[in-house]
Amino acid sequence: MTWGRVRRLEEAVASTRLTTALESLRPRTFLEFYGLAVIALVVGAVVAAPLIAPDPLAQDLTAQLAGPSVDHWLGTDNLGRDLWARILYGGRISIVTGVFVLLTAGAVGIVYGAVSGYAGGIVDAVMMRIVDIFLSFPSIMLALLISAALGPTTRNAIIAIAAAWWPVYARLIRGQVIVVKEREFVTASRALGAGPIRNLFLTVLPNSFGVMKTIFVLDIGYAILAGSTLSFLGLGVSLPTPEWGVMIREALQYPTHWWFILSPGLALMLFVSAINFAGGIVTRSVHEIPIR
């Protein structure tokens, strides 16, 4: 077989895989359509917040706890601040918190678990015992302790949640690496002269992300909930900065004003549920798209 035929065959395989990938990512159920639509609407509104909402910190004491109206679509809070604006700007912080938690915990956990699984032996045993120490604490309790020690800021909340979550990713990716590193193409790569670092990060690790794709997508919603939980308990974002969790805590002082607590609670529920519904697309793609 000539190199030209090999090249054409590789291009045909790549084209087939791309077509399969695009097909598998197309929503097929109502809930998947709903999830993608809600995510698109929320993210679009959050990004466009300066154009479609007033200042979330602007106070109007003459309009305290006013119900939904033409001037204030979702009503106002106890200081007369527009809840529509605070929901949108609060969504920015909640979504950014969730994404950065996943990026931080994922990066640390994946590298740590990959090195552990590929090295094996005593190195793997020692590294996994460290993971076991972290996993012996409930993740939310560990995040609360770290956040309380660091102080209530958005950055510290991200660090606290990521520190509690990275061991889960480390253990998951370690199991995948242990399986993949014994496959024929890895042995062939090693026989062709690839060193341990090159073999791990260019051959083994890219072929170990199957299950991780679904976990990462679903965990964005859980990370947003965790960040809102810390803020609700006073260990995350602090007032007057708008954030869904801290807005719910503030609204609990006024239980008779239903719009005050309904707005952030509904925003949090809709967005997290939409991520979970849309996660079915990624789950399907894991089974339908061959990694190699």
Domains of the chain listed by start with CATH number: 28-48+74-288 (1.10.3720.10)
Question: Residue holding tokens 């083994």?
Answer: 204
The reported pLDDT for the residue numbered 283 is: 62
Predicted confidence (pLDDT) at residue 87 exceeds the cutoff of 90: yes
pTM greater than 0.95 (yes/no): no
| Tokens read off for 138 | 């409930």
pLDDT bin (cut points 50, 70, 90) of residue 28 is low
Alpha-carbon distance of 39 to 176, in angstroms, equals: 30
Kindly report which listed range (37-51, 53-67, 193-207, 223-237) carries the lowest average pLDDT score.
Answer: 193-207
Name the more confident of 121 and 29: 121
- CA distances in angstroms from 252 to 57, 132, 246, 260, 261, listed in the order given: 19, 38, 10, 8, 7
Alpha-carbon distance of 221 to 253, in angstroms, equals: 26
Predicted confidence (pLDDT) at residue 11 exceeds the cutoff of 80: no
Name the more confident of 28 and 144: 144
Cis amide linkage into residue 264, ω under 30° from 0 = no
| Tokens read off for 8 | 């054409």
Kindly give, in sequence order, each residue whose CB lies less than 8 Å from that of residue 216, ignoring residues fewer than 6 positions away: 102, 106
Whether the Cβ atoms of residue 174 and residue 205 lie closer than 8 Å to each other: no
Q: What whole-number percentage of the chain has pLDDT above 90? A: 37
Helix (H, G, I), strand (E, B) or coil at 127: helix
Predicted confidence (pLDDT) at residue 203 exceeds the cutoff of 90: no
The reported pLDDT for the residue numbered 199 is: 78
The reported pLDDT for the residue numbered 34 is: 87
The reported pLDDT for the residue numbered 108 is: 94
The reported pLDDT for the residue numbered 25 is: 56
Mean pLDDT over the full length of the chain: 82
The reported pLDDT for the residue numbered 24 is: 52
pLDDT bin (cut points 50, 70, 90) of residue 284 is low
| Tokens read off for 234 | 């006073």
Predicted confidence (pLDDT) at residue 125 exceeds the cutoff of 70: yes
| Span 204-220, pLDDT tens digits | 888 777 777 778 877 88
Alpha-carbon distance of 140 to 229, in angstroms, equals: 9
| Tokens read off for 181 | 């590193």
Predicted confidence (pLDDT) at residue 3 exceeds the cutoff of 60: no
pLDDT bin (cut points 50, 70, 90) of residue 188 is confident
